[in-house]
Amino acid sequence: MKITKIERLHADGAWRTLDFLKISTDEGIVGWSEFNESFGGAGVSALIDNLAPVLIGKDPRNYEAHVALLYALRRQASGGAVQQAIGAIENALLDVKARALGIPVYEMLGGPVRDRIR
């Protein structure tokens, strides 16, 4: 499985713009993530556009290595726009891997913590 395309999509949510990241693969599996640029300009989108080419052609299931590489490329303190961009990419990669395995993302992260709402 290889990443073929990374796209940003924006929707007018009336009181704020909704920002989404879509990662497509050559096997037809698509991963989704949401990010937020409501606090200013298109900084997170610009960072995603800058980081995305590094991942094209790579296997999305090895998301841990991809996230480590993205952090190495942007050596900054945690937090801020860089963290938001990498977080959006990581969440979409997790979604791709979970869909490929046929399980929900929470199963990859250790399973449910609760089985009911109190």
Domain ranges of the chain: 3-108
Q: Are strands 3-12 and 30-35 parallel, antiparallel or unpaired?
A: unpaired
- Which fold, 3-108? Enolase-like; domain 1 (3.30.390)
pTM of the model: 0.79
Q: pLDDT digit string (tens) for 68-89?
A: 898 888 776 666 778 888 889 9
Q: pLDDT digit string (tens) for 17-35?
A: 789 999 999 999 999 999 8
User: Residue 94's CB: how many other CB atoms inside 10 A?
Assistant: 21
DSSP secondary structure string for all residues of 5-32: EEEEEEEE-SSSEEEEEEEEETTS-EEE
